[in-house]
Structures are given as C-alpha cells and as structure tokens.
Amino acid sequence: MANEKLTEQACSVARSASLIGDPWSLLIIREALAGNRRFSDFVEFTGAQPSVVSDRLKRLVAAGVLRSSQYQDHPPRNEYRLTPMGRALQPVLIALSNWGDEFLDNGHGAPLVYIHEGCGQPAHPQMTCTHCGDSVDAHSLRVIPGPGADPDNVARRVSHATRSAD
C-alpha cells in the first residue's frame, strides 16, 4: 500500500492507488458509503479479518478518508465516518461497480442498481465530458501534461514516444 515509489510519482492515479488501491480498503469505503460506521459492521459486511479491518481503518483515518470518534466510553468504542475526501470516492466505487456489472456478473445481472435521487430513475452513472456532455471512454480521450506534471517524466515519455515511432 502507501509506498514511496507510488506517492512520489507525479500521477494522481498512483497517488490515489497508494492510499485506497487495495480490495479491503475499497470494501470498507463501500460500507461507509452505505452508512456503516462501526468496526463490527465493517467486519461483518466486508468479510475481512478483524485484524485487516483494524489495519485499514487506521490507514484510512491517517489518509484523511475517514474520521474516527468515540461513541462509547466503557469499553471505549470508536465509529468511523467518511470525510468529504472520503465521500468524494463515490465515483471510484461507481466505476469499479460498472466494470464488474459488465464483465464479472456471471450472467446474473447487476447485484445493485444506483437510483438518482434527483430524477428518481436508475442512474446507470457514466463518465461524461464536462464541456460538451458526451460520454467519454478510452477511445475519445487523450492526455496532455497539466500544471502539476513532472517535467522530467514528460521529457522521458516524449523521448520514448519518439523512439517507439522510429
């Protein structure tokens, strides 16, 4: 998990993956988005070992994805709620869910359906271009360096692309 080789990359995928790119963290976030807050519920509904849940909760709190607060004194018990940073992971979960629905449903159809409260209909959420509103995919997008790009990395990739084109 959180790994210098990842967090040092000027890449938002690498940085995100270093924090939440493991199955049990993603399932804990799934449960937190579903409204669960307690250790015992995370264990019950993720199917992870208690020691794994404990480890991931600590990491997610340290990363700022969850915040912990004590809800009982004797014995002390904490609950874990998503921060705004944590709730902002909903699109990651939707994207994983869509992909699983399409390719890993064993022919049984989607295990769950997202309903959009705004219009009351099944949302079937998709990635769209904020500028024109069309759906986007691997074929319709290209990337260019942004303000946070690492110039060395950009140069290395340009050099590589030039060599590959020879």
Binders in 7-36 for a copy of itself, by CB under 8 A: 9-19, 21-23, 26-27, 30, 33-34
Give which of 39, 59, 58 is closest to 49, Cα–Cα.
39
- Residue closer to a copy of itself by CB (options 28, 57) is 28
Least separation in angstroms between residue 58's CB and a copy of itself is 18
| Contact between 65 and 87 (Cβ < 8 Å) | no
- Residue length, the chain? 166
Give which of 141, 16, 162, 8 is closest to 86, Cα–Cα.
16
* Run of H or E including 40: helix 39-46
Size of the site for a copy of itself (CB under 8 A): 94
Least separation in angstroms between residue 74's CB and a copy of itself is 21
103 near a copy of itself (CB under 8 A): yes
Site mask, a copy of itself, residues 59-98, x = CB under 8 A? Answer: -----x-----------------x--x-xxxxxxxxxxxx
Residue for token pair 């990739």:
157
